[in-house]
Chains A and B, each alone.
Chain A
Amino acid sequence: MKTDVGKVDGKENGTQTRKAIKRGIILRTNAIFMVPFILLWGLYVLTHGSSGPGGGFQAGVVLAAGVILYAVVFGLDRAKRDFPIKVMLLIASIGVSIYAWVGLFALFFGGNYLEYGALPIGHEPAESSELGIEMVEIGIGLTVMAIMLSIFYDFAHGRD
């Protein structure tokens, strides 16, 4: 059964499959199962930060760890094709902007900076605060994941 692992580098399937077996087929099989679960669990931690342990920072680091596992097992080129560097920097900037703009919206609606109770998204201040906290956690998670990945790409480039 031919796989398309070899297509990325332009080499034949034969060499690449032999290299994959040398690189460790146990590692590849485990990583194929684990990476989607790690990414899904990172998303779970992000959205359930208000009712259990978790939140923005933990979720960002777990998501980055999932992509780093993918990069270590399948090759840095494949990870750079699937999670490109420029998209990561864009996501990082969007994350910080979400946080800062939520605060500014609170200013526009009459409260202090970052006062979630003044936002008109809930029926009462406690509900607005809960939704504001979730938006802010999404922003934090995006930024942390993107920056951890960007730093990893910079260091993992190899000697040149």
Chain B
Amino acid sequence: MVDVVEIILTKYNYLIYIALMTIGFYGMIGKSNLIKKLIGMSVFQYSIFLFYISIADIHGGTAPILIEGEKVTYVNPLPHVLILTAIVVAVSTLAVGLSLAVRIYREFGSLDENKILMGLKDE
């Protein structure tokens, strides 16, 4: 029991990241509006980026831009590179998802998932 409390105290931030991921996940599957689903997907993606950037940090480190002369500790630059690519891919995915939502609205006149499914069954 003491172990669990100690884990929660030292690694609480991972639990917060998982909580953010769960909020985004619920937005994706529990809501029936298409735009709300896309917002949930974006919340999920950004929380994953937060997880990556936070494990790159080192105590007493500084930003990974080289400073003349002194010997300082730099934080790990590799997750920064991966997340830079991922952010731009996330916005591209959001743009294509939104354009699909606009097309669906033009066809069916509604953005609610159940009404679209009923409209598909009627055709």
Q: Which residues of A are at the interface with B, using a C-beta cutoff of 8 A?
A: 51-53, 57, 144, 151, 154-155
Contacts and interface: CB of A to CB of B under 8 A. Distances in A.
Contacts of A51: 65
A124 to B, nearest CB: 18
Nearest to A154: B99
Given A53-B63, A57-B88, A144-B88, 4 more contacts: A151-B95, A154-B99, A155-B98, A155-B99
B99 A52 contact: no
A53 B63 CA distance: 9
Tell me the dominant secondary structure on chain A's binding face: helix
B9 interface: no
A53 B64 CA distance: 9
A53 B88 contact: no
Contact of A52 (B65, B84, B88): B65
Nearest to A55: B84
Contacts of A57: 84, 88
B93 to A, nearest CB: 12
A51 B95 CA distance: 32
A1 B63 CA distance: 52
Contacts of B84: 57
10 contacts: A51-B65, A53-B63, A53-B65, A57-B84, A57-B88, A151-B95, A154-B99, A155-B98, A155-B99, A155-B102
A8 to B, nearest CB: 27
A41 to B, nearest CB: 19
Contacts of B65: 51-53
A151 B102 CA distance: 13
Interface in B76-105: 84, 88, 95, 98-99, 102
A55 to B, nearest CB: 8
Contacts of A154: 99
Contacts of A144: 88
A109 to B, nearest CB: 26
Contacts of A53: 63, 65
Interface string B99-116: 100100000000000000
A133 to B, nearest CB: 13
Q: Lowest 8 A-B CB distances belong to which pairs?
A: A151-B95, A57-B88, A57-B84, A52-B65, A155-B98, A53-B65, A154-B99, A144-B88
Most buried by A among B65, B88, B98, B99: B88
Nearest to B63: A53
